[in-house]
Amino acid sequence: MNNEMVFGRWEGTCLLITMIATKAVLGFPRVMMESAGVAGWILSAYISFLALIGFWIINKLYKGFPGKDILDIGESLGGKPVKIITGTVIWVYLTFMMITSLRLFGELIKSMGFPTTPPSFLMLFFFVGVFFAAYIGIESIVRFMAILVPVSVVSFLIFIFALAPLGDINNIFPLLGNGAYEIFVKGSSKVSCFSEVLFLFLIAPFMKTHENFKKSGLISIFISGVVFLSITLIFISMYPNPVAREVLLPAYQLGRTIDYGRFFKRLESILIITWSTIGFMHLSTVFFFSAHVFKKTFNLKYYRPLLFPLGVICFSISIIPERLMDVISFEAKYDRNWSWTISFGLTIILLIFANIKRKEPVKRH
């Protein structure tokens, strides 16, 4: 990254919305329904509330460290050892995110328009663009996101309004689905669906002010929460509980149900362009920060030489699973339950101890 490069509130908000809300077109509604039954929409609202609280706490703790990202805070707390541990944990998480997202988007595009094409070919096609976007740098990616997000929001609104009349409101009853315990206790771990807020802690040095940092986080979490709630509610209203659990790519299946006469059929084909672009920007950002975090963790001078070996590793691992269901199950079991420990847990712990150390009086000899 260039130290002279600065992101405003709009760019930071668009980046986070892209990173968090992208999973709405993948398996998010099904994950909510698997956890809470027909009350999945309540669970989505609940975890959005938890994410807002978590970010509010982090924002309060971050005030004493303007212009520092999470790696800088780790270094200020315990020097290079803590910085290396923090950076390694984050790099492993970002690499895992890159691997799973690359496979899921490849499978999504295959299902939507290329049913006979091998997923590995589509993933390779995708990855070539991702590689060059990451090579150019994060500034170009973020500027493009600032244009893409309004278009994506309009596309999503049309998608939701087209589906709303097709649902059956009776499908959301009984109201608490699998029970209050499944929603408010076990379901709390699903706040991991907002774990991409971690990217805000990586671009903190490039936000103009702490106020921009705060508002970008709050606005993006709120908008992403609305996206999650709306698509989950629509999904539950259209698919009975047993059937919904078998739907691997909910957004695609919802798109196939849109039918408003002879001239408005198979509208999900139009969405291929929007969703492919969203996936491209999501993957480009993850890939760039995977290289950037590795570079900064080990005090390397450049990140670009890392892109090719990291790309080979990510692509090779992503094609290992034979079935899409294996990837979905692995992501649902681990990422959707435990990634909050990195994005929220690790960040809060580092900030608490860093604040304690900062307020300690300097010892005079």
Q: What is the CATH number of the domain that holds 24?
A: 1.20.1740.10
Q: How confident is the model at residue 248, as a pLDDT?
A: 67
- Residue 3, in any domain of the structure: no
pLDDT of residue 352: 94
- 11 falls within a domain: no
- Which pLDDT value is given to residue 161? 86
How many domains would you assign to the chain? 1
Residue 4 falls inside a structural domain = no
Is residue 354 one of the residues assigned to a domain? no
Q: pLDDT-derived band of residue 244, with 50, 70 and 90 as boundaries?
A: low
Is 86 or 112 the better-scoring residue by pLDDT? Answer: 86
Q: What is the mean pLDDT of residues 49-57?
A: 96
pLDDT at 251: 77
Question: Which residue segment(s) compose the domain that 296 sits in?
Answer: 17-349
Q: What angle do CA 103, 104, 110 make, to 5 degrees?
A: 90
pLDDT of residue 261: 61
Mean pLDDT across 255-274: 67
Contact 187, 46 (CB under 8 A): yes
64 lies in some domain: yes
Is 75's pLDDT higher than 60? yes
Q: With cut-offs at 50, 70 and 90, classify the pLDDT of residue 192.
A: very high
Whether 255 is in a domain gets the answer yes
**pTM: predicted TM-score of the whole model, two decimal places:** 0.90
- Please state the rounded mean pLDDT for residues 314-331: 83
Average pLDDT, the chain: 86
Rounded alpha-carbon distances, angstroms, from residue 115 to 29, 142, 279, 326: 23, 32, 18, 19
Asked, for residue 365, whether it belongs to a domain, the answer is no
Band the pLDDT of 365: cuts 50, 70, 90. very low
Tell me whether residue 82 is in a domain.
yes
